[in-house]
Amino acid sequence: MLFCSHCGKESEKGDVFCRKCGSKISIKPTVDDKIKGTVSELESLVDEAARGIKKELLEQVFEIEESLKKGDLSQDEFDLEAEEIRDRLHNFIEH
């Protein structure tokens, strides 16, 4: 299997240029290329995951706000839910 040394995207046999970023694909990827490819791939995944987590958490925030407004949540329940979200977020913030 070949991986783009620039962005880490897997390429099809016979591809001369990466289908994702357009970089020229080397015929024989070196170990360094493979490591770089893996690191790039993981970097992209971290970005994607971060976007996913942001979306999910924001939805939760708006959901509890909406529930509070509609009276589905009491103020205490809202505070508890908010505390849970806050705790999850603090795990990602450097201290």
Is the Cβ of residue 20 or residue 34 nearer to Zn ion in the bound state? 20
Number of residues that bind Zn ion (CB under 5 A): 8
Q: Quick check: helix, strand or coil at residue 14? A: coil
Is the Cβ of residue 4 or residue 73 nearer to Zn ion in the bound state? 4
Cα separation values, 2 from 5, 11, 23, 48, Å: 9, 6, 13, 22
User: Does residue number 36 form part of the binding site for Zn ion (CB under 5 A)?
Assistant: no
Comparing C-alpha atoms, which of 70, 77, 51 is closest to residue 59?
Answer: 51
Instruction: Considering only the stretches 7-15, 32-40, 48-56, 80-88, report the one whose residues sit in contact with Zn ion under the rule CB under 5 A.
Output: 7-15
User: Does residue number 34 form part of the binding site for Zn ion (CB under 5 A)?
Assistant: no
**Which residue is listed with tokens 């493979």?**
34
Which chain residues interact with Zn ion by CB under 5 A? 4, 6-7, 9, 18, 20-21, 23
